[in-house]
Structure 1
Amino acid sequence: MNNKKQQAQAFLGLALLGGLMVAAGSAQAGAFMTPTTNAAGWGRAFGGGSLFKDDPSSAYNNPAAMAFIDKNISQFTLNYANIDIKYKGAAYDYSGRPTSSTTLDPDTFEPLYTERTGNGGQAGFEAWVPTGFLVMPINERLNFGLSQVVPMGARTSYDDDWKGRDFAVDTKIETVAITGSLSFKVTDDFSIGGGAILQHTSGFLSRNVDLYAAAAQSTDLGNIPFAAGQGFSLMRVKVDNTSLGWFAGIAWQVTPQDRLGLNYHAKIKNKLEGRYNLYADPASRAIMTTPVIDGKTLVELAYPGLTLNPDGANATSRLDIPANASLDWVHEFTDRLAVGVSATWTDWSSFKALTLKSNGNNIVSIPYRYKDAWQISVGGDYRMTDDLTLRTGVSFDQTPTPDATRDPSIPDGDRTFVSLGFGYKVRAVPGLSIDGAYSHQFVETVKLRTENVDRLGGATLDGKSKARGDVVSASLTYEF
């Protein structure tokens, strides 16, 4: 192939990769991390990572493995995720009574209390998630890689007036990233690699703040027994940020049949900035704006130093992306059968709490106290013919969420992925291949027995969350 044609095709691959920088959701893994792989990886349930032959997803997952790719490869993947989440159980206000809402009788204007009985409806989501990878050899020892991935994402959406609205209504977390990486073949059998990641994180959440219940629990006010559930005060927070990170790896062709890889993705500090808004009924708005004693509102008296602006204000929060490391192994039993095993550790214990600040003051801090977690995966390829490859795999993904701090915004549990997939070389178009995969997630039914912090009203949930998920993935790969 002449250099001008090769350069043109490379430029086209880069342009198409850049055009994928739009994502509509996430195919969720543990907590709010998401798999960063292609259809072949989904078909193997992530077993072996990116160590299988000519896998361009190594551009992000383990850049050292790019060194064993001796051709230009561009790949584009579209994942469809359908996640089903349902809650069933009870909810109580700070005084132990079933949660209720207050409305006014249209005839007498007297307050009417109605117990909130809804379980929130279908809190899951559907999403389309694109990813792309490009690997280009520079010379016999140096390769360049480019990728677009969605390394973090979560989505839940409950009915506005469900019994657990003081814990969650809408939650969305999503990171879209582009990366550049290099690999260097130190010897014919050993390589190193590294890369940089530029990512944009956006977050959105809404939940009701029971201001009267919060005031009732204030020792500064002497624990006045205000009634819970009066009116509504829906807080909506929207924040985003762009941040930088790095990753690195090594790959070793131990024998002609065995390849080992180790990769590390460093923790990325992520300070999100944006705005919060409060949508409150007149009574709730009044206790945020009407002075009661010494020019201070009821909210300021209940929590000294806390000022809530019902018209909204700036908001900041930290949502650091934890470090993770993977050890991968691929063994080729024959020229048709290969099996891969992976173990991935994620430093979730670095995520202690989600704190919302405004003008330097803490509005609320929600403890999560995540624990480190492991994912173990086994999967493989069987080449039926020179053109058709079949894949399967299974993966166990441990939740980092303790029972005591699990809430309905991310009702995470241990999950098991069971996957099937295929790859097909399109002989009519030299260099073109198609991959497809289907993965089902069996998610542990988890307990939601948690208590809200005082500033959010101190309500409690006592129930269970049941979830399941399906992911369909399709990739187009072109070698040139």
Structure 2
Amino acid sequence: MNNKKQQAQALLGLALVAGCMAVGSQAQAGGFSTPTYGAPGWGRAFGGGSLFKNDPSAAFNNPAAMAFIDHNVAQMTVDYARINLKYKGDAYDYQGNPASTAPVDDFGNSTPLSGDGGEGGFTAWLPTGFLVMPINDRFAFGLSQVVPLGMRSTWDEGWKGRDFAVDTKIETVGLTGSLSFKVNDQFSLGLGAIVQHSKGFVSQNLNVTGAAGMSILPGAPSGVGANLMRVKVDNTSVGWFTGVTWKPTEQDTLGLNYHAKIKNKMEGKYNIRADAIGRSFMTDTDTNGTTLIELAYPGLKLYPDGANAETQLDVPATAGLDWVHVFNDRLTLGASATWTQWSSFKDLTLKSNGATIIAIPYNYKDTMMYSLGGDYRFTDQLTLRAGVAFDETPTRNSTRDPRIPDNDRWFTSLGFGYDIKAIPGLVIDGAYSRQFVKEARIKTVNQDRLGGSRLDGKVDAKGEVVSVSATYNF
């Protein structure tokens, strides 16, 4: 192959990756993490990680595995995710009265709630891209674009749990570079760095009359007025990851990877779409220049027209152990176990100018995900895939809320790969994954400054992901 042709193919490979770097969204796993694989990985339910032959997702998941990729390979993937949420149960105000209608507006109108709770969910598109290029017999270089964190939940503004959550969107898009070194034919090492941009958007109702009733105006009615707080924050941060790969036999490959925790302090703005009642609580002052909100909660001042906001949302550390066994030229199976240090996520605290506006305890726990899947080469052109995975939730019954109504889940996946002979080197892969989420119990009391509302119910969730990849080997 001449140099000009090599350069052209390399540019084509880079274009496959760059073509999907402009947009990011979510396909949720446990908590708010996102699987970082192409359609082949989704088809195996992530069993074996990135240790299957010539899998370019090794550029992020385990950079050491790049050392055993024997040619340039680029992959572009688009995932479509659909998640449905349904709340069934009761909601109460701070006096113990059932919440039965949406907040009353300035004209005395209210919107009845539908059903016995609320329905939420989302649809989203998730693009990822990988590129691996061997430098020589020892070294290989990789690039990737991934979305390691991402989740979204959307509820109607007038649902019973509006004092807990309306919209929630968390998204982290990362660009990575990695390098592998083949120590010998059985052993390799890898190291990589990630630069990521995180965005967050949350909204919920501020029950200012209920909050006043708990402090300065005992007995005041709860839920009078409609005041929607919306917060937008973002940040750019840097992290690192590493991996080790060992081939004890010709048929077996073992891999260990670690992605370090990334500190992520997000900053931005909040604003409040306040009605006349809410605005007066936040802006009207007494003879001492103190607002009703400040009387109720000394040190807290809310600005309905907007102010600075900040929160800490770190990316947890993960470690994974993968194994792949080649039975013959037709069948290959893989298994994986992945640990995530979710215990580092204690709470979600929103501050403005040094004052705490909202502090929601979560106290997540560390989790494990177990996967088993494989490939069956049905013909020289067609490969079939299947897999199953069990993913533990980091949430606890005592602190779970409708913003992230997560619970343990099963993944079941089917997939295929088809070698396009008319275009040498091009493979099209597809996968379908179904998520079966255990019913999530919601029994929690809101923070007092949000009105002291209480939920007692459950959330049923289900989801599905369709993944399509184009892989070019050159």
Does the CA contact (< 8 Å) of 2:377 and 2:383 recur in 1?
Answer: yes
Q: Percent identity?
A: 64
Moved more, 80-89 or 28-37: 80-89
Instruction: Name the residue aligned to 1:214.
Output: 211
**Equivalence for 1:425:** 419
What do residues 235-278 of structure 1 show as CA deviations (whole Å, max 9, x unaligned)? 00011111111100000001111110000000111111110001
Aligned to 1:412: 406
- Alignment length (residue pairs): 473
Q: Answer yes or no: is the 8 Å Cα contact 1:381–1:392 preserved in 2.
A: yes
Instruction: Return the offset for 1:4.
Output: 2.1
The question of whether the paired residues in 2 share the 8 Å contact of 1:120 and 1:159 is answered with no
Residue matched to 1:166: 163
**Could you tell me which residue of structure 1 aligns to residue 46 of structure 2?**
46
Report the Cα offset of residue 443 of structure 1.
0.8
Aligned to 2:135: 138
Partner of residue 295 from structure 1, selected from 266, 280, 289: 289
User: 2:248 matched to 1:254?
Assistant: yes
Partner of 1:395: 389
Alpha-carbon distance in structure 2 between the residues aligned to 1:104 and 1:345: 48
Deviating 4+ runs (over 3 angstroms): 100-106, 111-122
Structure 2 residue 433 is the aligned partner of structure 1 residue 436: no
Q: CA contact under 8 A between 1:50 and 1:57: conserved in structure 2?
A: yes
Once residues 111 and 147 of structure 2 are traced to their aligned partners in structure 1, the CA distance between those partners, rounded to angstroms, is 42
Q: 1:308 aligns with which of 299, 302, 308?
A: 302
Q: Following TM superposition, by how much is the alpha carbon of 1:23 offset from its aligned partner in structure 2, in angstroms?
A: 2.9
Instruction: Supply the distance in 1 between the matched residues of 2:278 and 2:106 (Cα, whole angstroms).
Output: 18
Q: 1:104-142 CA distances to partner (integer Å, 9 max, x unpaired)?
A: 796xxxx68887555565411111111111000001000
Correspondence 1:84 to 2:81: no
Whether contact under 8 Å (1:117, 1:163) holds in the other structure is: no
Post-superposition offset of 1:12: 2.9
Contact 2:227/2:274, CA 8 A, preserved across alignment: yes
Q: How does 1:338-357 map to 2 (within 5 A)?
A: 338-357=332-351
Given the superposition, is the C-alpha separation of residues 45 and 434 from structure 1 closer, same or farther in structure 2, using an over 3 Å criterion?
A: same
The residue number in structure 2 matching 1:177 is 174
Distance of 1:419 and 1:71 partners within structure 2 = 28
The answer (yes or no) to whether the contact 1:118–1:163 under 8 Å persists in 2 is no
Find the counterpart in structure 2 of residue 464 from structure 1: 458
For residues 176-212 of structure 1, what are the alpha-carbon distances to aligned partners after superposition, in whole Å with 9 as ceiling and x for unaligned? Answer: 1110000000111100001000111111111001112
- Verify: 1:319 aligned to 2:319, yes or no: no
Displacement of 1:290? 1.0
- CA distance in structure 2 between the partners assigned to 1:246 and 1:115 by the alignment: 50
Stretches of structure 2 lacking an aligned partner (at least 5 in a row): none
Q: Which amino acid aligns with 1:318?
A: Q
8 A Cα contact 1:89 1:463, kept in partner: yes
CA shift in 2, pair 1:114/1:98, >3 Å? farther
Q: Is the 8 A contact 2:429 2:468 kept in 1?
A: yes
Distance (Å, rounded) in 2 between the aligned partners of 1:103 and 1:426: 60
- Other structure's SS at 2:333 match: strand
What is the rounded CA distance, in whole Å, between the counterparts of 2:117 and 2:97 in structure 1? 19
2:155 alignment partner AA: Y
Provide the secondary structure at the position in 2 that maps to 1:403.
Answer: coil
CA distance in 1, matches of 2:46, 2:431: 12
Matched residues in 2 for 1:240 and 1:112: separation? 36
Distance 2:254 2:152 in 1: 35
- Contact map agreement 2:349 2:359 (CA 8 A) in 1: yes
From the superposition, tell whether residues 102 and 444 of structure 1 become closer, same or farther in structure 2 (CA, over 3 Å).
closer
Kindly provide the amino acid, as one letter, of the partner of residue 40 in structure 1. Answer: P
Q: What CA distance in whole angstroms lies between the structure 2 residues aligned with 1:101 and 1:289?
A: 24
2:334 aligned with 1:337: no
* 3-state SS in 2 of match to 1:124: strand
Letter in 1 for 2:470: L
TM-score (ref. length: structure 1): 0.95
Partner amino acid, structure 1, of 2:401: D
Cα separation, partners in 2 of 1:67 and 1:459, compared to 1, 3 Å: same
Corresponding letter in the other structure for 1:160 = E
Cα drift, residue 295 of structure 1: 1.9
Is the Cα–Cα contact under 8 Å of residues 101 and 231 in structure 1 kept in the other structure?
Answer: no
CA distance in 1, matches of 2:110, 2:62: 58
Unaligned runs of 5+ in 1: none
Aligned to 1:376: 370
Deviation at 1:25, TM superposition (A): 2.3
Comparing 12-21 with 401-410, greater Cα deviation is found at: 12-21
1:187 is matched with: 184
Which residue number in structure 1 is paired with residue 104 of structure 2? 103
Q: For the Cα contact (< 8 Å) 1:183–1:191, is it kept in 2?
A: yes
Distance (whole Å) between structure 2 residues aligned to residue 27 and residue 351 of structure 1: 20
2:257 aligned residue? 263
Please tell me the residue identity of whatever aligns with 1:88. K
- Paired residue for 1:30? 30
1:213 shift after superposition = 1.5
Distance 1:118 1:362 in 2: 35
Match of 2:197 in 1: 200
1:226 counterpart residue number:
220
- 1:295/1:209 CA distance change after superposition, 3 Å: same
| 1:150 matched to 2:147 | yes
In the TM superposition, 1:56-75 aligns within 5 A as 56-75=56-75
**Kept in 2: contact 1:94–1:457 (CA 8 A):** yes
| Per-residue Cα deviation, 1:390-446 (whole angstroms, up to 9, x for no partner) | 111100000000011111111111110000111111122111111111111111111
Which has the higher mean CA deviation after the structures are superposed, 208-217 or 311-320?
Answer: 208-217
Distance between the aligned counterparts of 1:273 and 1:12, measured in 2?
Answer: 37
The CA deviation string for residues 337-388 of structure 1, in whole angstroms up to 9 with x for no partner, is 1111100000000000001111121111111110001100000111112221
For 1:17, the aligned partner's letter is: V
Classify the secondary structure of the residue corresponding to 1:404.
Answer: coil
Q: CA RMSD in A?
A: 1.6
Q: Could you tell me which residue of structure 1 aligns to residue 8 of structure 2?
A: 8
Structure 2 contact 103–158 (Cα < 8 Å) conserved: no
CA spacing shift, 1:105–1:142, aligned 2, 3 Å: closer
Q: Report the Cα distance in structure 1 between the residues aligned to 2:302 and 2:282, rounded to whole angstroms.
A: 6
Is residue 128 from structure 1 mapped to residue 125 from structure 2 by the alignment?
yes
CA distance in 1 between partners of 2:163 and 2:22 (Å): 32
- Does residue 285 (structure 1) correspond to residue 279 (structure 2)? The answer is yes
- Give the TM-score taking structure 2 as reference length: 0.97
CA contact (8 A) 1:118 1:161 kept: no
